[in-house]
Amino acid sequence: MHKIELLAKTHDRDGFDCGSEPLNLFLKQTARQHAERGISRTFVLVDEAATPPKPIVGFFSLNICQIKAESLTPQEAKKLPRDVAGVRLGRLAVAKTYQRQGIGKTLLVAAMGKFIEIFNSAGGIGLFVDAKDQDAKRYYEQFGFVSLPSNELELFLPVRTIHEALASLG
């Protein structure tokens, strides 16, 4: 049984390999420092029954972000103040041996759940993500993320889509 936990010393960061060295290095070298300094939070998916150091199946990072309403589509920007807050999905990765088994989707759904917790206590217009390439962009689009007009590799998932997605999952 898989479980999402806040990244901690008990997790095997060194053993993680998603095939992208910058993402591996972020997990190994940066994620915990960022958490301590309040820059971002990283959550990992692990096997509930694993003993420390627990192998990491996948992870994602979130941070609060501020964006200019003018960078959204005119329809989304309507009635918003000039500067608005959102949550950025800074990183998302699944270990190579677990890719294409729905783990990425599980992590995205968990990130949406975390967004709703933030939304309920502090607001936020939705989730933002920087896709690292066209493949990643296509990956996010299947979950309803839409490209920003100014940069097609920066995508936005509005709060209403997140509510709908979570409601459809029960």
Ligand X SMILES: CC(C)(COP(=O)(O)OP(=O)(O)OC[C@H]1O[C@@H](n2cnc3c(N)ncnc32)[C@H](O)[C@@H]1OP(=O)(O)O)[C@@H](O)C(=O)NCCC(=O)NCCS
Contact region with ligand X (CB under 6 A), list: 12-20, 28-36, 115-123, 155-163? 12-20
What is the C-alpha to C-alpha distance for residues 117 and 145, in angstroms, rounded to an integer? 19
Distance CA 35, CA 62 (A): 10
Q: Does 18 bind ligand X (CB under 6 A)?
A: yes
Of 10 and 134, which CB lies nearer to ligand X in the complex structure? 134
**Active-site residue set:** 140
Please report whether residue 131 would count as binding ligand X according to CB under 6 A.
yes
**Interface size with ligand X, residues (CB under 6 A):** 21
62 binds ligand X (CB under 6 A): no
Question: In the bound complex, which residue of the shown chain has the CB atom lying closest to ligand X?
Answer: 104
Is residue 19 a contact point for ligand X (CB under 6 A)?
yes
Position 136 contacts ligand X (CB under 6 A): yes
State which H helix or E strand residue 159 sits in: helix 159-168
Give the Cα separation of 162 and 154 in Å (integer): 17
Nearer to ligand X, 20 or 71 (CB): 20
Q: Which residues contact 157 (CB under 8 A, 6 or more apart)?
A: 112, 126, 127, 128, 129, 140, 143, 144, 145, 146
Write the DSSP assignment of 15-72 as a string of letters: T---S-HHHHHIIIIIHHHHHHTTS-EEEEEEETTPPSSEEEEEEEEEEEEEEEGGGS
Under the criterion CB under 6 A, does residue 20 sit at the interface with ligand X? yes
Contact flag: residue 64 with ligand X (CB under 6 A): no
Nearest-approach distance from CB 91 to ligand X, in angstroms: 7
- Residue in the block written with tokens 């309803």: 144
Taking CB under 6 A as the criterion, which residues in 67-126 touch ligand X? 92-94, 99-105
Whether the Cβ atoms of residue 45 and residue 103 lie closer than 8 Å to each other: yes
Using CB under 6 A as the criterion, which residues of the chain lie in contact with ligand X when the complex forms?
A: 18-20, 23, 92-94, 99-105, 131-132, 135-136, 138-139, 142
